[in-house]
Structures are given as structure tokens and as C-alpha cells.
Amino acid sequence: MSSGTTRPDRPVGLPIRTLTIEVLGGPDEGRAHTADGETVTVGTAESNELRLADPTVSRYHLELSRKGDRVAVADLGSTNGTAVGPVLLERGTVAPGTVLTLGRTSLRVGDGPTRTLSLHDSGALGPLRGQSAPMRRLMAQILRAARTDASVLLQGESGTGKELIARALHDESPRAKKPFVTLDCGVISPGLVASELFGHERGAFTGAERRHLGVFERAQGGTLFLDEIGELSPALQTALLGVLERRRFRRLGGSEELSVDVRVISATHRDLRAEVNANTFRLDLYYRLAVVRLEVPPLHQRVEDIPLLVEHFLGEAGYTGPLSALVPPPLMATLLAHRWPGNVRELRNYAEAILAMGEPPALEQAAGGPGAAPASAPAVALPLEQGYREARQKVLEDFEVQFLKALMERAGTNVSLAARLARMDRSYLIDLLHRHHLR
């Protein structure tokens, strides 16, 4: 080209049809809202795109999003539910023009104008890979968020790569040359989380033989990534909120107040908006953590990325040959049809197993494949004769026993190795083993 410029090999914008919402009845009757992007949340909390005054509407009541020519409706664990006529709808799709009822409020959802969403202009951003529109949309959001110092909440299923996204946010930010520190709140013993967050002085508690610096102190000037933030106890939620508001904290057992300058990125596989509705997660802490909220798509929503990801993982493992030699077209078709409940982490493990064994391992749960479990088959025996809380506790205990037995067998009863394999804190693993009389 004589101009000396090059055109990107794919468009950098994605046209989408947005939504309009009209309030037909209730305290906010007559109001209307047109979405700026793909989704709209409705509720009484300030951070909703459409905020209502109706006290019978929950703080985060529902989320609406476009799915082709229909509208996806997801109730966020509201108190009074979301109804279409006489039917309560937890999750589903409706046609534009449908009227939804939320408490005393009625809404009509309809078609909005077409808008163009920004996409990243390549299939890579730091450690992230993806050519699909959802992934390139996420990459564009990451770049915009990285330029700010706002707290970011990453929400997505386990195995979707939330820590890699947190790392990309750090690496693209002005804090890139400062520390990036991670704390997984879901695998540390509840009694140790406060010490890991804030540190402790020598003698602060039994076994505290020397001063320990917490993650806030170690991340000073940089980025702190709090994984599985939804696992924090109410008391620790309060303590964390205090640090984020005052930017100061004390080590456990200490009297000196330390100032802190960190950017906090948090992640969870739960929908914290539903946890807020259930009063199990503090609303004011949610506001602090979710200044920017990024949805991480599961792998089954971006299957076109699978060939790129497989090639990338094989390359990282040292393979330099053609992809088709290890993953011929029939096998790739099987991979594209698989549901991938473990998401990108499961795909990485599968690619590495192919390289290690020289042949593909069985995909027993591949959609429609040999040995696929019936869709209705429960993963565990459900004690339906009990109440919900008792049944939930029984299923959890059965899972823990099965998991721990298999883990210890794989580790040859070596607790330290087992903790590394399970990505668990060693002391918490020991607590679980004692609790279930396995040690």
C-alpha cells in the first residue's frame, strides 16, 4: 500500500443492538433507560445502570443482556423475584416488548439503538490469548481499566484465568514496576487470613515467633490481587473495608499505624450482587471493590479460541511442531464440542497431557462423546429427605472426604506435597484432615 499504513487483520469494533427499558408502573413510573453496552442491571443500589426507588425491589434485582434477537433475564437472588405474567423467572430469555414485574414495579424491555463496542486489535495481551469477540472485548476493557487506579472486581467461573487478567491489569498500569502480590482467600485457613492480609508482630498469637509482613505491606506501591474475595468472613470484610477507606492498618498485635498505597484487584466465582442481597457480603465493601467490574467469559462461550489456546499451551510446554500433528482435525472437532467445565485451566492440562503422553487422554464428558454422562445425572448423591441446610452440609462433607482421600493417595500421604497439588494452605489442609479423622 502506497500510504505506508497497514489495516488491522480484523475489525476493532463490534456492533451490537442495545436495550431500552421503560418503567410502566411503580414509584418510578415514566422513567426510561437506554443501555450504553451489552448489559443493564436494575435495582435500588447506586451502582445499577437503572436505579429504582421501589422498596420492594432488591439492591441488585436483575440483569438484562442481549442474546441475538432476544433479551436474557437473570434474577440476582432478589427477595421478591422477577415475574413474567404469573411465572417467576430466575434465568431465561424473553422477546423484546416483554413486561417484567419486580415487586410493585413493572418494566418493558425493548430494542435500543445499535452501538459499537471496542475490541482489542490483536489476539494477545500479555499472558492472555483469544481471537473471539468476547475475549478481545475483555482485553479492550482491561487496557482502559489499567490506565486508572480504580479497584477492579473480576467475576467468572473457576479456571477462566482471572489471575492472568489481574496480572495484565498490573503490567499495563503505571504500577507495573512495583510488586504484584496475590492472596487466595479461599484456600487459607480462616484463622490465618487476617495475618496474611495485615501481618503480625512477634508474640501476637501462639506460634507467632517472628514478625510477619502481610500482603498489603508486601504490595506497597503496587497491586494486590485478592482471589476468591467472596470467601471472607463478615469480620474480615469489615476489617478490609476499614483499610480501603482509611488507607491505614495495624499488624496484628501491633500498635503502629502503617499507611498503604496499593491498587486492589479482586476476583470471585460467585455473583457478589446476590451475596449482597442475601446480606452475606457488605454492600459498602462491594462498592469499594467493584468500581470497575469485568465479566470473564467461560471457555464454552468462546470456543473459537480453543485452537489458538491449544497451540499456545503446547508451545509453552516446548512443542515446536505443527499443531495438526498432535491435534488432528477430528480431535480438534471433539475439543470444540466439549463443555470444558474446568475452562482454560482444564484445556491447558489437556494440552500438556497430550504432549507428555504422545496421545490424547479421554474426554469422558465431551458433549455427545463416548462415555458422556447423562445431562440429568447428579454429580453427588443428594440427601433430599433432609432440609436444605442439612443436605448442603452433608454433601459438602462427603465431597471433602472423597477429595482429601484421593489427594493424600496421590501425594503418597505427604501433606506438604498434597497442599501444593491442591493449591491449599498447609495448615488449613491439616485442619481438614483432622476434622474428617483422616490424620
pLDDT tens, position by position, 42-90: 999 999 999 999 999 999 999 999 888 899 999 999 999 999 999 999 9
pTM for the model: 0.77
Q: What does the domain layout of the chain look like in residue ranges?
A: 13-116, 124-295, 299-357, 388-436
User: Which tens digit of pLDDT belongs to each residue from 166-208?
Assistant: 999 999 999 999 999 999 988 877 778 888 898 888 877 777 7
Q: How many CB atoms lie within 10 A of CB 268?
A: 24
Cα–Cα dist 106/25, whole Å: 5
pLDDT of res. 309: 96
Does the pLDDT value for residue 3 go beyond 50? no
**Second-level CATH architecture of 124-295:** 3-Layer(aba) Sandwich (3.40)
Return mean pLDDT, the chain: 86
Pick the CATH number of 13-116 from 2.30.30.90, 2.60.200.20, 3.40.720.10, 3.60.70.12: 2.60.200.20
pLDDT band at 384 (very low <50, low <70, confident <90, very high): low
pLDDT of res. 144: 96
Cα–Cα dist 255/253, whole Å: 7
CATH T-level fold of 299-357: Helicase, Ruva Protein; domain 3 (1.10.8)
Cα–Cα dist 366/335, whole Å: 8
Does the pLDDT value for residue 369 go beyond 50? no
Instruction: Compute the average pLDDT of residues 154-165.
Output: 94
Cα–Cα dist 199/192, whole Å: 10
pLDDT of res. 210: 83
Instruction: Compute the average pLDDT of residues 293-301.
Output: 95
- Counted residue by residue, the chain has a size of 439
